[in-house]
Structure 1
């Protein structure tokens, strides 16, 4: 009976360093949001009724792009019927991820600068917590993408976690906003 080879120090460091860096990013955002005095100034764009509406629609765009990310990842990893992935799926996956993060940045800036990290009720607390966690996982994933020799499951698991966290943040913010005010623009 063969035993599994021990995980090398180099392989552990290849994953651990990005995880620690992502954790530091999440904690830094949370600390900033907590100690920063909320300004209650929001992003406002012409055509939208409020900064919260802008935030909700940008978050919805980010989640829609993340759904494409999930589907395209399944295609790239051949987890869907049809065999080979089309040649455009890799670049489309990469660009949809970039656009999703780009759409999320004004939302995060508004949340951290205008509202801060809050624990006023459980929905707001978990939204604040997972919002910081989202960017921590994002930093981790971006750093892991530059590493060679990772186990094949590391990037898909990290991407799945990133998707889950973004959806949770959306559920505790944009969905709540739409249920409270309707689909206002």
Structure 2
């Protein structure tokens, strides 16, 4: 069964790590379906029925995005608000179309992991900062899985640093 990778990146062409991950995912069309929201909806007008139908086709879904301002890109939040509707994702006998599906986040971060800790400059670990995602996906009865995070891209833009992330990401996806 293929994994749906929903990529939310407002500037993928100038991305360092997310662009590289997408390039690698395209090498395995038998394993991954890559769905780039900003490419499909350049005007950010979401076709909700199409997105819901797409979600229904997969048992494993990963949301891939850069983490900044201690959150996801705004378009991801808009997608969540518009696609996870009452009567489809939750709240009625016909709802819960996402129930039981494995859902995970794949996050790239500019900061180092140590900076996101109780003793770090930003005080909170990523596990705490991503709780709203965990709660949202649990609310719709999805099987929320631990996230994948690749830290330090702001200070480590070398090809070697980026390439180091690729097998780690693919391994994460294979074990989902």
What TM-score results when the alignment is normalised by the length of structure 2?
0.26
The structure whose residues are more often strand, as a share, is 2
Larger RCO: 1 or 2 (CA < 8 Å, sep 6+): 1
The structure whose residues are more often helix, as a share, is 1
Structure showing greater Rg: 1
